Amino acid sequence: MVGDEHITKLRGPLKELKTCGRITVSKRGRLIAETIEAHGGIDCQGIIDAKHVLSGTTVTLGPKCDYHGDLTAPAVVMQKGAKVKASMFAVPEDPLALASLPEAEVLK
């Protein structure tokens, strides 16, 4: 996909959701997928349940967010109240290097 994705209710389970745009999960939204890739970033106020998440820009986890899944992003903003289940978070020293890594390397 090319554009932004707005999740306002249950979406999934999906094998993958990939977009060049931004993914926004509203307070009542729930996204379930094995792989999520959003080059425009992610803003989650609801629920994300995934195995692997890759974001090209900042990921924001809002105060009512419930997040589960490994995450690779250049920056993560976690607001007070966000719930994160045990996951692997990777924020590389050189965030621009994310774009040059093969997908298999990033989603290990």
Per residue in 18-60, pLDDT (tens digit) is 999 999 999 999 999 999 999 999 999 999 999 999 999 999 9
pLDDT at 77: 93
Give the whole-angstrom CA distance, residue 14 versus residue 96.
Answer: 28
- How far apart, in Å, are the Cα atoms of 55 and each of 12, 23? 19, 9
Residue 7 pLDDT > 50: yes
| 44: helix, strand or coil | strand
Instruction: Write down how long the chain is.
Output: 108
Q: What is the pTM of this model?
A: 0.80
Residue 70 pLDDT > 70: yes
- How far apart, in Å, are the Cα atoms of 97 and each of 2, 73, 106? 21, 11, 10
Mean pLDDT (whole number) for 64-76: 93
